[in-house]
Amino acid sequence: MAFIFRQTALGMALALSFVLTLAGAAGAAAERERVETFLEVTGFDVALESIRLSADSAPAMLGLAADDFGSEWSRLVDDVFATSVMHDMGLEILEKTLPEDLLEHGIAFYGSELGQRLVATENDAHMEEEEGFKAEAGGAILEGLRGMDSDRVAILERLNAASAVEDTSIAAMQEVQIRFLLAAAAAGVIELRMEEPDLREAMRSEREALREGLRESALEGAAYTYQAFTDEELITYAEALEDPKMQQVYELMNAVQYEIMANRFEAVAERLSEMQPSQDL
């Protein structure tokens, strides 16, 4: 499942508190055993596991490099981003927020023959560490499709639009970065030269410039990931994603995934205070 998303006054509509309210209004939350099934069938368990791959960007956000921490960095990442920890966090949140009807809706599609093939493919894509290769291969595929004036480009664009790739990813990743920087400053790892409102405004001003690049990279990723699927299968997938219930499923999953990511980055910041002298930012 191509889950792509939360605590603060940035006003993210998908903040966890909002999701809790939404889920409460939608009906009783699902039982733990069913949530476990949901995680596996939809591939969301692998999406959570893949959060670990984002840890490599943490030092760069602080103007540092992973090598600056030596072997301690690998041990920190293995601990903070432990699969079991993130899985339990996701399970606990979803137990409280995932309505039974949305759970059943997600399982119904992703449990189908096409859904399981999509999940297997997306799981593989989630866990591929060589982003450069994926971007290059996807770019080549996209160039070929455009050269043939293929309808598939529009199908891939429809698929990405249905999963809210652009705005959701930009806002979410900036929120993760802000929470990480604030936590690092609070832990004495860095010294912020901006007040929080100024930091938020600076990042907000960059969104439009980021949007175009993200749109193209998302298309490259989709072209690479779904190359083994027919146009008809991808149209069926886009229609499934456009269903109002599936839109709610994606909103919730994105909110949960990025909340866990932000939480883990904050935990990294706290641990870095024991490993790295204070740096200016």
Rounded mean pLDDT of 54-60?
Answer: 85
The better pLDDT of the pair 278, 128 is held by: 128
Question: What integer best gives the mean pLDDT of the chain?
Answer: 84
Rounded mean pLDDT of 183-192?
Answer: 89
Q: What does pTM read for this prediction?
A: 0.81
Q: What angle do CA 239, 243, 246 make, to 5 degrees?
A: 110
Exposure of 71 by Cβ count < 10 A (0-12 exposed, 13-18 middle, 19+ buried)? exposed
Phi-psi group of 28: left, alpha or beta (phi > 0 → left; psi -120 to 50 → alpha; rest → beta)? beta
Q: Which residues pair with 280 in a beta bridge?
A: 191
Question: How do the domains of the chain map onto residue ranges?
Answer: 16-280
Over residues 196-224, the pLDDT tens digits come to 999 999 988 888 878 877 888 889 999 99
Q: pLDDT band for position 68 (50/70/90)? A: confident
